[in-house]
Amino acid sequence: MPNQQSKYQLLKSLEQDSNLTQRQLSKELGISLGKVNYCLQSLIQIGLVKVHNFKNTKHKIQYSYLLTPKGLAEKTKLTISFLKVRTKEYEELKKEVEKLNEAREVGK
């Protein structure tokens, strides 16, 4: 099972462009091709992504990875979760910067 970060990144990328190849996803997300394949297979097995294959202009089989309704709901849930985490991190950093600025002012 992919970790939450990988799952979110894949779902987000596939929602934007369902025709990305695994190699393109690997490059875009900065993760190995093997990990992309593993994560996609997991997402397909749990019903978050559906695969369609078609022939591209070079007469090769290409895959399209479509988010299922369950996949869209999961992406929304993950987005909200990450937003909460990032907001909390932002608030903590903001407090830390304020403390450092206060300490700098006292030290002048």
CATH number, domain containing residue 76: 1.10.10.10
Phi, psi (deg, nearest 5) at residue 2: -65, 155
Domain membership of residue 11 as a residue range: 4-107
The type of residue at 50 is: K
pLDDT of residue 55: 66
What domain count does the chain have? 1
pLDDT tens, residue order, the chain (108 aa):
578 888 999 999 999 999 899 999 999 999 999 999 999 999 999 999 999 887 666 667 788 999 999 999 999 999 999 899 999 999 999 999 999 999 888 877
List, in sequence order, every residue forming a beta bridge with 65; answer none if it has no partner.
Answer: 51
